[in-house]
Amino acid sequence: MIRFFVSAWENFKEYIVLVILLITSLILLSQNSSQGIQKVRSIAFGTFASVTSIFTDIFNVSNLKNENENLRRTNAEMMLHLSRLREYGIVNEDLKSLLALKDSSNFPLIPATIVSKSLTKSQGTITVNAGRNQGVKVGMPVITDKGLLGIIYNTSDNYSIARTLNNVDLKVTVKSERTRENAVMKWNGDWLVMVNVPKTYDLKKGDRIVTSEISSIIPFPLPVGVVYEIGNVEKGIFNEVKVQPFIDFQKVENLFILGIVKSKEIDNIEFNFLNKQ
């Protein structure tokens, strides 16, 4: 028996090692969401990100001049918008107080810089230099001046990993700003697509797409992109709509983390409602 194992090892040791390694990988694949793995992950990327951030800072100095110029221009444009919005704001406040509506527009913004990117075709992630110490929590939306970039996936003390919109594991409920019709949007490896869109929807090329209030992650509208192409699926009653994102994921460097996570109170109400049915 021992001789058999010895000769099998001698003849097939490469394959035996390969099979053992593949089985171990498959076991770990099924343990992705376990607490232990998440803990190891946050320590590992937190340590690595602290080194990467030094490297990125040196690299980013050359881009600061250009960025400053762009920011000055954006500032001027914002100032013009602001004066107009201030007027609307005053009217809005009056109307809200008349209707006794709650204010839901003041959310804290946590500034951060990207220290590293993993831009694979299907699993885009970024590491940013803000973590638990800055108040970042898992599930918080990551935005830039152009709109939604992704969602925080894991945090360490001073760093966080976010899944970008070009990650197949991130799905967001969005709506058309013009028609107010909702759909689920995901990354298919090449494009952001709104899936299972009924053919009766009145979407047109160029329509602005924003996050929907019914989203379980982002409960108010954030710009996402514009409709680029409306698929023409011959069979069935659903279409696929390609969305061109506002953000260029390769070029983005600075961002904000929106200090909100989905309310547990809402979760509990919905859960109790479903249980009663």
Partner 1 sequence: MIKQHYIISIILFFPLLLIQTTIVPFLAIDNVIPDLILILLVYYSITQGQIYGSVLGFIYGFLFDIITGSLLGSAMIAKTLAGFTAGYFSSENKKDQYLVSYNFALIVLLCSFVDSTVNAFFSSINFTTNIFMIFFQHALLPSIYTASIALMGMIFYPKRKMF
Q: Which range of residues in 109-117, 128-136, 141-149, 261-269 is near partner 1 by CB under 8 A?
A: 109-117
- Nearer Cβ to partner 1 (72/121): 121
Contact window for partner 1 (CB under 8 A) among 17-25, 131-139, 140-148, 207-215: 17-25
> Residue 139 or 219: which CB sits closer to partner 1?
139
Residue number, 108 or 189, with CB nearest to partner 1: 189
User: Can you read off the two tokens belonging to residue 152?
Assistant: 């925080």
Instruction: Select from 54-62, 71-79, 90-98, 177-185 the region that touches partner 1 (CB under 8 A).
Output: 54-62
Q: Which is nearer to partner 1, 97 or 122 (CB)?
A: 122
Contact segment (CB under 8 A) with partner 1 among 89-97, 112-120, 197-205, 215-223 equals: 112-120
Q: Which of these, 113, 124, 224, 119, lies nearest to 160 by C-alpha position?
A: 113
Instruction: Give the other-Cβ count within 10 Å of 7's Cβ.
Output: 10
Q: Give min distance, CB of 249 to partner 1, in A.
A: 8
Could you say which residues in the range 216-275 bind partner 1, by CB under 8 A?
Answer: 250
Q: Which stretch binds partner 1 (CB under 8 A): 77-85, 93-101, 130-138, 187-195?
A: 187-195
| The only residue of 190, 229, 267, 270 in contact with partner 1, by rule CB under 8 A | 190
Count of residues that bind partner 1 according to CB under 8 A: 48
Q: Compute the half-sphere exposure of residue 211: CA atoms within 13 Å on the CB side of its CA.
A: 21
The pattern of x and - marking residues 192 through 221 that bind partner 1 according to CB under 8 A reads: -x----------------------------
Return all residues near 77 (Cβ < 8 A) that are at least 6 apart. none
* Contact set with partner 1 (CB under 8 A): 13-14, 17-18, 21-22, 24-26, 28-32, 37, 40-41, 44-45, 48, 51-52, 55-56, 59, 115-123, 125, 127, 153-154, 161, 163, 166, 168-169, 188-190, 193, 250
